[in-house]
Amino acid sequence: MSRLRIGTRASALATAQTAQIAARLGDHEIVTISSEGDRDQATALASLGGAGVFVSNLRDALLAGDVDVVVHSYKDLPTATAEGIELVAVPKRADARDAFCSTGPRLADLAPGARVGTGSPRRRAQLLAARPDLDVVAIRGNVDTRLGRLTSDDPERRLDGVVLAAAGLDRLGRTGEVRELLELASWPTAPAQGALALEIRRDASADVRRRAAKLDHRPTRLAAAAERGVLARLEAGCAAPVAATALLEDGLLFLTATVYALDGSDSITASHAAYPEDSADPAGELAGRVAQELLDLGAAELAPVGGDR
């Protein structure tokens, strides 16, 4: 068995989640790769080109043969396929929920005008939908930087709360900062949140393919593909406030997606279900039905999404 070279972003969260995956792949070394999204913490993600700025350098290293496998947060991957690269495994998903972190009250009990930070248009819309009286502050930075703003000595930087992915906090051992977990039924999250994605070259060796593929978890892969399929069919990027939740239960794949107005003043939701064995592409077909209903209900007029009707 050869030593696998596993590529990852250099952030604390990326290296922590990659280390968890690497431990299941046998003999390995972890190779950290700097991404544009990590280097530029001042510019809004949408202005940098979306979540794909966390991915391109890892894929370049993979194609160049510098690494054998790369590990991504699945929600960071562009929905378009990359030439020469294969999604070989989607391991079992961690907690898909968002977490509200605060040193004080829960979200519902914050004082009017309280300052809550997020870098996500979807979370911003949800915060304003739930609490239009809040001051929602745009923030970027790693998990430590964001949580540090809860206790900052600088009143201009101090926040009363931040919203982060529960899975990331758990992977970093930072669940002690969680004030409450926001349930998916009322607070759906980004497509594929909580899931990881392993990519290899299409011409990878049989050994690399076998070792990486054994981590694939079919229910997670189906659910994440359905959620991301909504994004693809809506032609929605990271600036679009779109949430999606899918699960495989009792043999039936359920998918619900919501498009929000950027200011949280309105939203549109669509839900469908299908039996995976009834289709060669159950996730894709289900996503198409949900996305089409969202468009028919006026999603393109509500938020920056497109789609071919």
Q: What is the pLDDT of residues 85-144, one digit of tens each?
A: 999 999 999 999 999 999 999 999 999 999 999 999 999 999 999 999 999 999 989 999
Residue whose C-alpha is closest to residue 185's, from 250, 282, 98, 275: 98
Q: How much is the pLDDT for 195? A: 98
Q: What is the three-class DSSP state of 279?
A: coil
Q: How much is the pLDDT for 73? A: 96
68 in catalytic set = no
CA angle (115, 116, 122) in 5-degree steps: 140
Task: Name the superfamily (CATH) of residues 98-182.
Answer: Periplasmic binding protein-like II (3.40.190.10)
76, 95, 98, 160: the catalytic one is: 76
- Strands (E) located in 132-241: 135-138, 161-165, 178-182, 196-201
Q: Which residue has the tokens 């968002």?
A: 98
Task: Name the superfamily (CATH) of residues 4-92+195-216.
Answer: Periplasmic binding protein-like II (3.40.190.10)
Q: How much is the pLDDT for 40? A: 47
pTM for the model: 0.91
209: pLDDT strictly greater than 60: yes
pLDDT per residue over 19-30, tens digit each? 999 999 999 999
Q: How much is the pLDDT for 34? A: 82
Residue whose C-alpha is closest to residue 258's, from 223, 303, 221: 303
Residue 5 dihedral angles phi and psi, to the nearest 5°: -95, 115
Mean predicted confidence (pLDDT) in 5-14: 96
Residue whose C-alpha is closest to residue 141's, from 13, 50, 7: 13
Mean predicted confidence (pLDDT) in 10-37: 91
- Residues 6+ away with beta carbon under 8 Å from 235: 305, 306, 307
Q: How much is the pLDDT for 52? A: 60
Mean predicted confidence (pLDDT) in 200-227: 97
60: pLDDT strictly greater than 90: yes
Q: Which of 263 and 41 is assigned the larger pLDDT? A: 263
CA Rg value for the chain:
19
Rounded CA-CA distance 92/215 in Å is: 8
Q: What is the three-class DSSP state of 65?
A: coil
pLDDT per residue over 223-236, tens digit each? 999 999 999 999 98
Is the torsion defined by CA of 120, 240, 226, 12 positive or negative? negative
Mean predicted confidence (pLDDT) in 202-226: 97
> What are the residue ranges spanned by the domains of the chain?
4-92+195-216, 98-182, 228-297
Mean predicted confidence (pLDDT) in 7-20: 96
CA angle (56, 57, 60) in 5-degree steps: 85
Which residues on adjacent β-strands are paired with residue 246? 255
pLDDT per residue over 160-187, tens digit each? 999 999 999 999 999 999 999 999 999 9
Q: How confident is the model at residue 307 (pLDDT cuts 50, 70, 90)?
A: low
pLDDT per residue over 240-287, tens digit each? 899 999 999 999 999 999 999 999 999 999 999 999 999 999 999 999
Whether 4-92+195-216 shares its CATH topology with 228-297 is answered no
CATH number of 228-297: 3.30.160.40
